[in-house]
């Protein structure tokens, strides 16, 4: 995040966004990286709806590694746009 903060300070121009997009970072690669760093994370449950009667709500199952892999991909794109000075795309 420090690297991203430095990029924000250094960018004083805004270049119009065009058709250029970051190279895709394969999901499986990101997932393997997250799992290697957080091997104890796994499935979790959350209620489908927040209600006063918790027992009335169905449960959904998520996976922490999948969530982290998605977040990592999003941050990878944000950093790419900052490095290329496509500040409009990040905002």
pLDDT tier at 70, thresholds 50, 70, 90: very high
Look-up: residue for tokens 């998520």? 62
As a dihedral over the C-alpha atoms of residue 32, residue 33, residue 37, residue 43, rounded to 10 degrees, the angle is -40
Residue 72 and residue 28 in contact, taking contact as beta carbons nearer than 8 Å: no
* pLDDT given at position 47: 83
> What's the rounded Cα separation, in Å, for the pair 52 and 28?
39
The mean per-residue pLDDT over the stretch 53-57 comes to 74
Put simply, whether the predicted model's pTM sits higher than 0.75 gets the answer no
At residue 84, does pLDDT exceed 80? no
Exposure string over 23-61, b if 16+ CB within 10 A, otherwise e? eeeeeeebbeebbeeeeeeeeeeeeeeeeeeeeeeeeee
At residue 45, does pLDDT exceed 80? yes
């Amino acid at each position: 995040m420090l690297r991203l903060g430095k990029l924000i300070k250094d960018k004083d121009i805004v270049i119009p966004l065009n058709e250029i997009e970051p190279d895709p970072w394969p999901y499986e690669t990101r997932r393997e990286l997250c799992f290697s760093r957080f091997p104890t994370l796994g499935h979790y449950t959350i209620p489908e709806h927040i209600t006063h009667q918790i027992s009335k709500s169905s449960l959904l199952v998520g996976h922490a590694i999948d969530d982290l892999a998605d977040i990592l991909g999003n941050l990878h794109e944000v950093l790419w746009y900052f490095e290329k000075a496509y500040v409009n795309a990040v905002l």
